[in-house]
Chains A and B, each alone.
Chain A
Amino acid sequence: MDNTATLDAKIVDFIARGLGHDDEIRFNELALQVFALQYANIAPYREYCNGKGVSPGNIDDWRLIPAVPSAAFRSHALASFPLERAVQSNLTSGTTGRKNRGKVYRDQGALDLIMQANGMLTRGYLFPDVERMKIMLMVPSPKMAPSMGMAIGLEQVRKQFGTPESAFLISPLGLDVNALLRAIRQAEVSGEPLALIGATSCFIYFFQACRQEDIRFRLPPGSRICDGGGYVGQFGEWTKEEFVAACTRVFSVPASHCVNVLGMAESSTNYFDNVLRNHLAGKMAPRGKESPPWTRTLVVHPETLQPLPVGEIGLLRHYDLTNRAMILGVQTDNVGVATAQGFDILGRWSKDKGGHVITYSGGMPSSKIFTTLTDYLMNRRITNLAGKYEKAKKGLQP
């Protein structure tokens, strides 16, 4: 077993201990080992660290490990392993157009870590009360979008938590509104809970169409919604509260069952809202993201990049052991705040908009690719939603 495989095995063991511990000492040990591996194998990162006077030999605290800016994944292929061993590459952010978009690479060991970690989180935060349920996925399948992290991840969710009739709703044919309406109607008639998972902008798109035609549904108790991708788009700027209210108004799904997830290519772990987990456990706590034991999130000042006290708003910096294949610490441009249980994301910070713009929009801010999606969808609005729903109702009489 080589050094990387040995390290992976240690991280696997750490993740396998579950969500209910906070072993700071072991996290620190593993973080320093991951840092040493990445420092040794990723030359531009080593140069970046050397510029800060940091090397594996002169620090003993994970907080001192340099975190690379998200934009570095655009300019560099940051992999701790030879790229010929890559089994997966996901597109990530770019700044000047899709041709300049970056990629993150993963080898098999890293992929196994990520699947283990995110499978545990999905179970803990989205499906803690059921083994499997019908899931309709408002994203393309990985066959259609092989480099899309959300598609790849949700295929695992479908396999691990979905019933056989679970399906992706976006195909090369477009968004299958009829299939969505049939699934909703089937749930209404059967009383079997339904999970709707997808891009936030797709939900907003659908909500807009429902509002125009004053259509509402009554999904059965236990149904849940999971969205990711941001509330700001071509359809207008939605707050997190407005989005949750729309889920309740349109689908009759209570706020406790509306789970936002933050996922990004640069940080392998998915960060879920705690609401459903807490609701089922009878725990009262504010909605927010919980940091699992194999991650840490700091909030730093946007100019000095120094950590801020708990409660102050700044940029989110994630340290993630499942990032073994790339860089442990990632300095994002997401604006957020540390909370007792983890953090919450509030918006996005940019130097490109003529200054330091902070948007407090809630959830992961709009991705430009989804802006393109909404641009496109707006030209092809869902029409005659009521007629389609009536057709679904006739096909599925109680």
Chain B
Amino acid sequence: MTAKNPEKISDAMVGHSQPCTCGTIIDEMLVNGMDEDCKIQPLRQEDIPTGETGDGSPAPARARD
């Protein structure tokens, strides 16, 4: 078992989680995109939503990477 960082597990963590995430779907969809007909349409940089996403991170991280 490997600790990621030295933060101790504590009861203070209760109330600070996000709901379980079914992860990479969004990253993948944002990278590949789809057009109005739901056909393949590679996402253009200008199509990437701006501002904060729900989890507080700028969207979409992988697309910008």
> Which residue numbers of A lie inside 8 Å of B, CB to CB?
41-45, 47-48, 51, 68-72, 74-83, 90-99, 101, 139-140, 144-151, 170, 172-178, 199, 229-230, 263-266, 302, 305, 315, 331-334, 348-352, 356, 364-373, 375-376, 379-384
The 8 Å CB contact of B59, one of A78, A80, A229, A375, is A375
Q: Given A75-B4, A173-B34, is A95 in contact with B16 using a C-beta cutoff of 8 Å?
A: yes
Q: Given A75-B9, A101-B21, A199-B22, is A173 in contact with B32 using a C-beta cutoff of 8 Å?
A: yes
In the complex, the answer to whether A349 meets B15 with C-beta atoms within 8 Å is yes
In the complex, the answer to whether A44 meets B9 with C-beta atoms within 8 Å is yes
In the complex, the answer to whether B19 meets A348 with C-beta atoms within 8 Å is yes
Closest-by-CB residue of A relative to B30 is A376
Question: Would you give the shortest CB distance from B38 to chain A, in whole angstroms?
Answer: 5
The 8 Å CB contact of A174, one of B10, B11, B40, is B40
Question: Would you give the shortest CB distance from B10 to chain A, in whole angstroms?
Answer: 7
- Contact residues in A for B27 (Cβ distance below 8 Å): 98
Q: How far is the CA of A75 from the CA of B13 in the complex (A)?
A: 10
Question: Would you give the shortest CB distance from A299 to chain B, in whole angstroms?
Answer: 14
- Contact residues in A for B15 (Cβ distance below 8 Å): 302, 333, 349-352, 356
In the complex, the answer to whether A148 meets B25 with C-beta atoms within 8 Å is yes
In the complex, the answer to whether B25 meets A139 with C-beta atoms within 8 Å is yes
Q: How far is the CA of A92 from the CA of B41 in the complex (A)?
A: 29
Q: How far is the CA of A71 from the CA of B49 in the complex (A)?
A: 27
In the complex, the answer to whether B7 meets A97 with C-beta atoms within 8 Å is no
Q: List 17 A-B contacts (CB under 8 A).
A: A42-B1, A44-B1, A44-B8, A69-B11, A69-B17, A70-B17, A72-B13, A82-B1, A83-B1, A95-B55, A145-B22, A264-B19, A302-B14, A368-B21, A375-B49, A376-B30, A383-B36
B interface residues, tally (CB under 8 Å): 49
Closest-by-CB residue of A relative to B35 is A380
Closest-by-CB residue of A relative to B7 is A75
Closest-by-CB residue of B relative to A81 is B1
Closest-by-CB residue of B relative to A70 is B17
Give the total number of A-B pairs whose CB atoms are below 8 A apart.
234
In the complex, the answer to whether B3 meets A43 with C-beta atoms within 8 Å is yes
Question: Would you give the shortest CB distance from A41 to chain B, in whole angstroms?
Answer: 6
Q: A77-B4, A91-B21, A94-B55 are in contact. List 6 more A-B contacts (CB 8 A).
A: A75-B4, A77-B1, A140-B29, A149-B20, A368-B19, A368-B55
Q: Given A47-B9, A265-B20, is A83 in contact with B2 using a C-beta cutoff of 8 Å?
A: yes
In the complex, the answer to whether A173 meets B40 with C-beta atoms within 8 Å is yes
Most central of B3, B30, B47 by chain A CB within 10 Å: B3
> Which residue numbers of B lie inside 8 Å of A, CB to CB?
1-5, 7-11, 13-41, 47, 49, 53-57, 59-61
The 8 Å CB contact of B49, one of A69, A177, A366, A379, is A379
Question: Would you give the shortest CB distance from B41 to chain A, in whole angstroms?
Answer: 8
Q: How far is the CA of A4 from the CA of B47 in the complex (A)?
A: 50
Q: How far is the CA of A334 from the CA of B17 in the complex (A)?
A: 10
- Contact residues in A for B20 (Cβ distance below 8 Å): 70, 92-93, 149, 263-266, 364, 367
Closest 10 CB pairs of A and B: A174-B34, A371-B54, A97-B57, A91-B23, A351-B15, A264-B20, A69-B13, A368-B54, A70-B17, A368-B55
Q: How far is the CA of A51 from the CA of B11 in the complex (A)?
A: 11
In the complex, the answer to whether B9 meets A77 with C-beta atoms within 8 Å is no
In the complex, the answer to whether A372 meets B55 with C-beta atoms within 8 Å is yes
Q: How far is the CA of A371 from the CA of B9 in the complex (A)?
A: 28
Question: Would you give the shortest CB distance from A275 to chain B, in whole angstroms?
Answer: 22
The 8 Å CB contact of B26, one of A79, A97, A332, A369, is A369
In the complex, the answer to whether B40 meets A172 with C-beta atoms within 8 Å is yes
Question: Would you give the shortest CB distance from A91 to chain B, in whole angstroms?
Answer: 3
In the complex, the answer to whether B10 meets A48 with C-beta atoms within 8 Å is yes
The 8 Å CB contact of A45, one of B4, B9, B17, B56, is B9
In the complex, the answer to whether B59 meets A76 with C-beta atoms within 8 Å is no
Q: Given A43-B1, A44-B9, A69-B13, is A151 in contact with B22 using a C-beta cutoff of 8 Å?
A: yes
In the complex, the answer to whether B24 meets A91 with C-beta atoms within 8 Å is yes
Question: Would you give the shortest CB distance from B7 to chain A, in whole angstroms?
Answer: 5
The 8 Å CB contact of A381, one of B19, B26, B31, B36, is B36
In the complex, the answer to whether A71 meets B23 with C-beta atoms within 8 Å is no
Most central of B20, B29, B31, B53 by chain A CB within 10 Å: B20
